Amino acid sequence: MKSDIIIVGAGPAGAYAAYRLAQLDLDVLLLEKERLPRYKSCGGGLTSKVFRFVSEFNLSNVIEDEITRVVFTHDLENPIKLDFAEPFTYMTMRNRFDYFLVNQAKKAGAKIKEETEVVNLELMEDKVQVYTAENNYTARYVIGADGVRSLVAQKLGLMNDLEYAIAYEKEIKAPYQVLESQRGTINLDYGIVHGGYSWIFPKKDHLSVGVGTFAKGVDLRESLEDYLVREKISDYEVFKTTGHPLPAGGTKRELTKERAILIGDAAGLVDPLSGEGIFYALKSADVASQILIDVIKSSESIKRYTDLVNQEILPEFRKAELIQKLFFSFSGLLHKLFIKEEWILKKLIEVIYGNDTYSDLYDNIENRVPLLKF
């Protein structure tokens, strides 16, 4: 069977690329190793950016809560509560969100094969050969959307120097009063985990609670237990526990090779401060789809994709990376600054979740607090 494009991995990156390319009348085959819908280790925070980006979709059926309050703590001390008039982020469960996108791709005409793990691929002069345990498939181009441990990247010899954080998360059924008190609110703590942060995200009938760090040698299991105890969450039932790497975007890397292109986590596209990856999975899928159309129709170079990612995504990641280094090295000092200058934190939340960019934040701080010029 020959397709125009084979996409490996049906997370948000792969599913959205399949949707976009099928909409543009290409013959698209999406290969996913898991049975769908599948669980994915994730806080499931969808920022307003995601909503604006896929405004053609009605996501209301996959939304579990709308967030208008964030409680910031440092080592569980000195809470700063920020309230927003409008929801600045939305909670989902990834099995539902990702499956929604897969179904949009299917409706647009993409072919989906689940429980089909890609085990190898070969780039040839005029085609790509993709191998699974049972079959092999041929296409003109291949997209690697197979996540942070991308086999596609590995086979292409790309992303060898990818740095990542490790996150550890539990889905817990907590007592009713705890769930109710958490409605509409996310908690973020910098300090309880060395070199990282902890979160409580409310879902319809449970909480997603996690810890993540860039530091080596941190016992994340112990940190998460500690976090739950100190947040006074007890009598809960754990129904899923997962550990997963989280790539840190910010470094320029080659993201294409001959007839292949990497998107989403496979391309390392995660905000190094907030850990947001879903928006960048969608955005890179969109850019890659447009490039592939141009490559097919007007002999544009596939390498243009890396240039566009470097221009449109990396500059923001670079700024996020600088703030991340400050955050994780001086979290106590920064928390004291935020208590005095709450607007900085509010602005940061607006950047991470909403309408502003890290560049806006830098300009704002430079104008209002010249001593803190970056």
Helix (H) or strand (E) holding 133: none
d(CA 291, CA 77): 48
- What is the DSSP-derived secondary structure letter of residue 371? G
- From 18-26, 133-141, 273-281, 293-301, span contacting ligand FAD (CB under 6 A): 273-281
Looking at beta carbons only, is 50 or 293 nearer to ligand FAD?
Answer: 50
Asked if 191 interacts with ligand FAD (CB under 6 A), we say no
Asked if 144 interacts with ligand FAD (CB under 6 A), we say no
Which residues lie across from 185 on neighbouring strands? 69
Among 40, 113, 230, 318, binds ligand FAD (CB under 6 A): 40
Q: Which of 2, 4, 17, 90 is nearest to 283 (CA)?
A: 17
Coil, helix or strand at residue 60: helix
Asked if 4 interacts with ligand FAD (CB under 6 A), we say no
Asked if 37 interacts with ligand FAD (CB under 6 A), we say no
Looking at beta carbons only, is 31 or 158 nearer to ligand FAD?
Answer: 31
Shortest CB 9 distance to ligand FAD, Å: 3
Residue 57 corresponds to which tokens in the numbers above? 């979709």
Shortest CB 42 distance to ligand FAD, Å: 4
Looking at beta carbons only, is 38 or 194 nearer to ligand FAD?
Answer: 38
Size of the site for ligand FAD (CB under 6 A): 39
Asked if 139 interacts with ligand FAD (CB under 6 A), we say no
d(CA 100, CA 312): 27
Among 3, 5, 6, 14, binds ligand FAD (CB under 6 A): 14
Asked if 196 interacts with ligand FAD (CB under 6 A), we say no
Looking at beta carbons only, is 171 or 231 nearer to ligand FAD?
Answer: 171
Shortest CB 114 distance to ligand FAD, Å: 9
Asked if 276 interacts with ligand FAD (CB under 6 A), we say yes
Q: What contacts 311, CB < 8 A, 6 or more positions away?
A: none
Q: Which of 281, 307, 282 is nearest to 294 (CA)?
A: 307
- What is the DSSP-derived secondary structure letter of residue 267? G
Site string for ligand FAD, 280-309 (x = CB under 6 A): -x----------------------------
Per-residue CA distances from 271 to 26, 302, 311, 351 (Å): 31, 24, 15, 11
Complete DSSP assignment for 303-369: THHHHHHHHHTHHHHHHHHHHHHHHHHSHHHHHHHHHH-HHHHHHHHHHHHSS--HHHHHHHHHHH-
Asked if 145 interacts with ligand FAD (CB under 6 A), we say yes
Asked if 324 interacts with ligand FAD (CB under 6 A), we say no
Contacts to ligand FAD by CB under 6 A: 8-14, 31-34, 38, 40-45, 117-118, 145-147, 151, 167, 169, 210, 244, 246, 264-266, 270, 275-279, 281
